[in-house]
Amino acid sequence: MGNTLSNMLHHYRKYLIATLLLYVVLTPNFARAANKDQWKSRTIYQLLTDRFARTDGTTNGCNDIHTYCGGTFRGIINNLDYITGMGFDAIWISPIVDNTPGGYHGYWAKNLYQLNPQFGTEQDFIDLIRECHARDVWVMVDVVGNHVGPVGFDFGQIDTFNKPEHYHDYCQINMEDFANNQWRVEHCRLADLPDLNQDNPFVRQTLLNWISNLIKKYQIDGIRIDTIPEVAKDFWTEFSQAAGVFTIGEAFDPRYDYVAGYQGPLDATLNYPLYFELKAVLQQGRSMYDLRDHYKRMGVFREQEVLGNFIDNHDNARFLHCYDNLNRWKTGVVFTLMSVGIPIFYYGGEQGYAGGDDPNNRETLWTNMNPKSALYGFVKAIIATRKTHQTWASDQIERYVDDNFYAFSRGDVFVATTNVDKTINRTISYHPYHNGEILCDVFFPDNDCILVLNGVFNVVLLNGEPKIFVPRNPSELQAHLRGAVSQR
């Protein structure tokens, strides 16, 4: 009897395990729950659903970029190869919920429990998640917990939050409030958008339940949270816990300590301190010694490795609009993708987009979706280097700095940058390489290589270009030497 019971229990356990595994594979509502440590290796492509691609593949322009232009979830699905072709393994898409009229960007919520019909059906969104996961692409969804669409005081237009008590009393945030009045930042309207009152128990619990259910229902891997300084930190702590996935928030502010205060309530923030520092150094001619100071000041953050690096996004005029210098933009992209943090690349940069202030920085991509463009290849080369050498697993070490040159390494990858448009020649003596090693620039690996000799090597940058050097592996070196001999 004992052996029979033991065998029965053994087979029952095997049955339970098999059933659970089948549930994980086949059930669409099974949450993946990707955490911040798992996100460190990801490289994110940010896009606005309405501006990326149309379902039918048409490529004519948009008549009015102040409203919907026709991009859809199905359009993203049909063009995932364009994204993964550069090496991206995560996408950040604009908010998905139903919006008040004109909310093509997604930040004017009307109904949290319906998807925006302009972007397609619920099944289209489910298919997008599944297609991404089938390619090992994670999906980060933009969400808003601070405000709803611009309905003035006609709250009946908003589903669920349809009463005056769901909102803070009326007042408008002034620009000076961000510097000296945090209470007003958290209680007043931003751009006259009705400000939700998270201290109201119904509002608070509704938002917490909503984000938890949204993540589980659609298997979302992470969320980017809009306007986090406009809501008290204790709410974001609960919101992040309810989400159960990686949370990264937007604190649009250059102050290191201010932005760092939101890491803790959330897993991470967008790296606005780096964004403003890069603009100062690359566009305004500030000394590259400022980058040394920047990284020292970044010590106020709990974990730099999960901050979201970027040089362009949907809230700011594009880099190339503010400063029409392609090599400086490339340098900004190199910092975005190679320095400590999680890289976030804004769609259209790979096609040289240079749109100005919102909405001009939210161009349609379908008119220029060219996987053979030079900048597409430039981005692809950087991401391939990041992945091949797993740079996220190595510390960032400053190797050389002066007013016009900044170099750092991550593992065996060496990054060299400048902020001037002339020839830069520097001798590097502090580095991780051995005598005799050959280092090649990943952008021109066949004809831009240097030799480490007597403990040093020389780096030459032409006309403001950035370079990324990696050691040539033995098989590549032998092939190169054989080629050189055969050409004699």
The DSSP secondary structure of 93-128, one letter per residue, reads E---EEESTT-TTS-SEEEEEEE-GGG--HHHHHHH
Contacts (Cβ under 8 Å, ≥6 apart) of 63: none
Known catalytic membership, residue 250: yes
159 burial type by CB count under 10 A (0-12 exposed, 13-18 middle, 19+ buried): middle
* CA-based nearest residue to 186, from 216, 151, 146, 231: 231
CA distance 169 to 187: 8
Distances, alpha carbon 456 to alpha carbons 89, 101, 406, 427, 431, in Å: 36, 62, 17, 7, 8
| Contact between residue 91 and residue 140 where contact means Cβ atoms under 8 Å apart | yes
Chain position carrying tokens 């149309």: 54
Our answer to whether residue 176 is catalytic in this structure is: no
Single-letter amino acid, residue 329: W
Cite the beta strand spans of 250-391 per DSSP E.
268-269, 308-309, 342-346
Q: Which of 50, 186, 221, 226 is catalytic?
A: 226
CB 225 within 8 A of CB 249: yes
Please check whether residue 399 is in contact with residue 408, taking contact to mean a CB–CB distance below 8 angstroms.
yes
Q: Which of 221, 250, 305, 350 is catalytic?
A: 250
Distance of alpha carbon 360 from alpha carbon 367, whole angstroms: 15
Token couple for 218? 């659609």
Short-list 140, 144, 146, 151, CA closest to 112: 144
Say if CB 312 and CB 318 are below 8 A apart: yes
Give me the active site residues, please: 226, 250
